[in-house]
Amino acid sequence: MSQLKTISILDNIPSSTQSKSKPEKLSYYTHRCRSNFPFAIPISKFSLSCILFLSLLLFYTFKSPSSPPRRSLAVDWGGAAWERRVRSSARVRSRPGHSVLVTGAAGFVGMHVSIALKRRGDGVLGLDNFNGYYDQTLKRARQGMLERTGVFVVEGDINDKELLKKLFDVVSFTHVLHLAAQAGVRYAIQNPSSYVHSNIAGFVNLLEVCKSANPQPAIVWASSSSVYGLNSKLPFSEKDRTDNPASLYAATKKAGEEIAHTYNHIYGLSITGLRFFTVYGPWGRPDMAYYFFTKDILNRRPITIFEAPGHGSVARDFTFIDDVVKGCIAALDTAKKSTGSGGKKKGPAQLRIYNLGNTSPVPVSDLVSILEKHLKVKAIRKVQPMPRNGDVRFTHANISLAQKELGYKPTTDLEAGLKKFVRWYLSYYPDAKKKSAWDFEVLDCIS
Ligand SMILES: O=C(O)[C@H]1O[C@H](OP(=O)(O)OP(=O)(O)OC[C@H]2O[C@@H](n3ccc(=O)[nH]c3=O)[C@H](O)[C@@H]2O)[C@H](O)[C@@H](O)[C@@H]1O
């Protein structure tokens, strides 16, 4: 529309004003051009209009949403050496094993599961766009850990269909562990479109490529406890309704579950969704409360603890990373094969959803007390009513289904898990160690 408008505006300029009117101005331009550049061509108003028109035409052509998505120049993939690295990373070393594409591999859960899979002999290829949602140096450090274990992380986005197709051309993945997502509950207020882009558009793009792959992989992906939203029946069970999301983040994860249903139904993709409950631990996410509380406590800065009026501090079913890793691996191991081929369903396929929680919610004020104990520094607490920006009062997982079908059994409580986190934090950030009252050697002996 805007292109057409531009054309008509230029077309309506009377020819007299295009070249003949205001000759003094024309001579000013030509004079300036001639005096600065000996070989300059006189530029009339008409020529300027043409240049402007062509520039607008080029701008809108390349900006048009109908033009095919172009690869980011920063992302470099392809070539024989690259393909060798991809194949080698995805190669199964001990049989029987899976060949797994892990999206979001440089993320918190992604790194831990990728390393665990690789260590037991599965083939693992990572994919991550290394976006700037939080500290990229931490993501690069996780990439370093992965590379030392033999996991190659391809730098690219789940929305890049060409790249995904290429990966499936090079490797016949048996499984996809889809962890790439826009995480964080409250950030959705600031950047809503990033949730739609990654958690909906990106997921659909990945499923499109998976459904056309031959063989189709089985998919295990990260949903979230946030889908239970404003439910008040406790503990949360997979059978409960999930149509009260309290945040856009929750709504996009819920949408993901419905999208998974569709691809299972139409194309025979085997899909397992895992509802993670506030996962924490070493190499965690700096945008999460336990992580930035640690930083603020060490810097003697105040921390804000949310309270639900009449209910005290908000509470979470904090789940330690090692338990979640075991749950992810059990989901991969028990996933049945997809039934489709060539983009067509050949029979009913597995569709599952599981809670991966810890089953013991802890108030955030208690979490702060545990951190104080492990850091040996008193927190400066500020209690504030829970803001209305997507948060929920509490989460509590019923894990009996995961226990029965995956053999999932969390073993780390918050006290023990935070001790491991603090120990990692103080060794990862050398300056933090100086701010803590901990004697590092004492800490080493205890854990
Ligand atoms: O389980 C989940 O589904 C979700 O868990 C976390 O979300 P959340 O539980 O909100 O985790 P945090 O942001 O670390 O907050 C933990 C608790 O601390 C509270 N909080 C947070 C920030 C703050 O300044 N003060 C405070 O009391 C929150 O209300 C919440 O109860 C993750 O950030 C989500 O990506 C994930 O999907």
pLDDT average, residue stretch 297-319: 95
The active-site residue, picked from 133, 228, 249, 354, is: 249
Q: How many domains does the chain have?
A: 2
* Percent of the chain topping pLDDT 90: 77
Q: Is the pLDDT of residue 247 over 70?
A: yes
Structural domain ending residue among the three candidates 35, 61, 87: 61
Ligand 1 near 250 CB (within 6 A): no
**Is 6 a domain residue?**
yes
Structural domain ending residue among the three candidates 44, 61, 78: 61
Instruction: Identify the domain containing residue 56 by its residue range.
Output: 2-61
Residue type, 121: G
Q: Is the pLDDT of residue 443 over 60?
A: no
Question: Which of 8-12, 105-109, 276-280, 365-369 comes out lowest in average pLDDT?
Answer: 8-12
Report the distance separating Cα 84 and Cα 79, nearest Å: 9
**Is 349 a domain residue?**
yes
Query: Which of 109, 257, 278, 317 best tests ligand 1's pocket when mutated (most atoms within 8 Å of CB)?
Result: 278
Token pair 């992580």 is found at 291
- Contact (CB, 8 A) for 343 and 269: no
- Contact (CB, 8 A) for 267 and 209: no
Ligand 1 near 357 CB (within 6 A): no
Ligand 1 near 248 CB (within 6 A): no
Ligand 1 near 305 CB (within 6 A): yes
The dihedral through the CA atoms of 410, 414, 419, 422 has a sign that is positive
Q: Is the pLDDT of residue 300 over 50?
A: yes
Question: What separation in angstroms does the CA of 250 have from each of 157, 215, 243, 360?
Answer: 21, 32, 10, 21
If you measure from the C-alpha of residue 53 to the centroid of ligand 1, how many angstroms do you get, rounded to a whole number? 51
Residue type, 133: Y
* Percent of the chain topping pLDDT 70: 81
- Tens of pLDDT, residues 46-59: 565 656 656 555 55
Residue 15's pLDDT band (cuts 50, 70, 90): very low
**Ligand 1 atom closest to Cα of 313?**
27
Ligand 1 near 316 CB (within 6 A): yes
**Ligand 1 atom closest to Cα of 224?**
3
**Is 243 a domain residue?**
yes
**Is 329 a domain residue?**
yes
pTM assigned to the model: 0.84
Residue 246 contacts by C-beta under 8 Å, 6 or more apart in sequence? Answer: 226, 229, 230, 390, 391, 392
Known catalytic membership, residue 249: yes
Q: What is the pLDDT of residue 441?
A: 44
pLDDT average, residue stretch 109-125: 98
Structural domain ending residue among the three candidates 61, 80, 98: 61
- Tens of pLDDT, residues 44-102: 565 656 566 565 555 544 443 333 344 444 457 999 999 999 999 999 999 999 999 99
Q: Is the pLDDT of residue 225 over 70?
A: yes
* Angle of the 248-267 helix axis to the 203-212 helix axis, nearest 10: 10
